[in-house]
Amino acid sequence: MDLGTANTVIIHNDKVVVDEPSIVAIDRTTNKIMAVGRKAMLMHGKTHENIKTIRPLRDGVIADFMIAEHMMRELIKMIYTRKPLFPPSLKMVISIPSGITEVEERAVRDSAEQAGAKEVRLIHEPMAAAIGIGLDVLEPTGNMIIDIGGGTSEIAVIALGGIVSNKSIRIAGDDFNADIEEYMRKAHNLSIGERTAERVKIEVGAAMAEIDNPPPDFPVHGRHLLSGIPREVMVSHAEIAQALDKTISKIEAAILNALENTPPELSADILNTGIYMAGGGSLLRGLDKRIEQKTKLRVHVAEDPLRAVARGAGIALKNFDKFPFLIK
């Protein structure tokens, strides 16, 4: 299971069986769960006072313990189309950010156990991403992984089945959305919600103004701040690149910092192998080129970056007792 701030992906028997937004809608009066995942996402930002949508994970860690547990339980139920006679004893591998504290680690483990897992192992996200991409992490060769998710960006150098140098920063996809919201407010006097900002990021998001095959301008709908009337504004990828510049610079600084702390022998390996990118953030147009220009190293984006971490956790689950880096 890749328990992410924005999306949760579950792999069962080598198949992606659940890929849902990490969000829950609850009824305030009865405290009952109304919807989980996509159905709850459709309600986000459109609820009345009796319904509340909650994202139980913030910055890659559990912020609301009870809701996270309910969410995991409901997502695990989605695996089984028919209700089994005897509930299976689940072995679980869950990915966690590499900069997580022991208390936060405990919260993930407890939530999984409460949701029905009999045996839980944890794996650090950059390690899971490296396995999911197809790298041999047990070799004495240095590989650098950048995993830009919804809540955290994980930058790690991996060799001999362990993380040699890592930098985990709580700047990622959610910050891109916040930047877009702020930019629309300041530049166009338009107030937009989180879901609209996410759509703008997907449709015209870019890390730099000069990119190959730029997307067409995208119509953004929101409330005009001066008149209070709904309006449509066309935005280009160059505008969004300008809006995201400051946040991307922070990620670049963290990458350079991780490279500075890498032992020289591993630096030599990284020069040959380059940098590997995973996570939804790596889909941002031109981000690989921008990092390439900054580091002067080759950058490879994973084939299916959104599911690389979950795939790695799935492979680790098969080798439950063999991999030395699974946290018991």
Domain segments of the chain as ranges = 2-128+310-318, 138-171+248-303, 173-243
Domain 173-243 fold: Actin; Chain A, domain 4 (3.90.640)
Q: Please enumerate, as own/partner, the contacts of 143-146 that have beta carbons within 8 Å and a separation of 24 or more.
A: 143/269, 143/270, 143/273, 143/276, 144/258, 144/259, 144/262, 144/270, 144/273, 144/274, 144/275, 144/276, 145/275, 145/276, 145/277, 145/278, 146/255, 146/275, 146/276, 146/277, 146/278, 146/279, 146/282, 146/291
Look at residue 189 in the predicted model and tell me its pLDDT.
Answer: 96
What is the pLDDT averaged over residues 157-178?
92
Rounded to two decimals, the pTM is 0.90
Domain 2-128+310-318 fold: Nucleotidyltransferase; domain 5 (3.30.420)
Work out the mean pLDDT of the chain and round it to a whole number.
90
14: which 2 tokens? 């080598």
On the question of a common fold for 2-128+310-318 and 138-171+248-303, the answer reads yes
- Predicted confidence band at 301 (pLDDT cuts at 50, 70, 90)? very high
Spell out the CATH class of 138-171+248-303. Answer: alpha beta
Chain segment 62-106, per-residue pLDDT in tens: 888 889 888 988 888 888 766 655 555 678 899 988 888 888 888
What is the pLDDT averaged over residues 224-248?
95
Chain segment 15-26, per-residue pLDDT in tens: 889 999 999 999
Look at residue 83 in the predicted model and tell me its pLDDT.
Answer: 60
Look at residue 66 in the predicted model and tell me its pLDDT.
Answer: 87
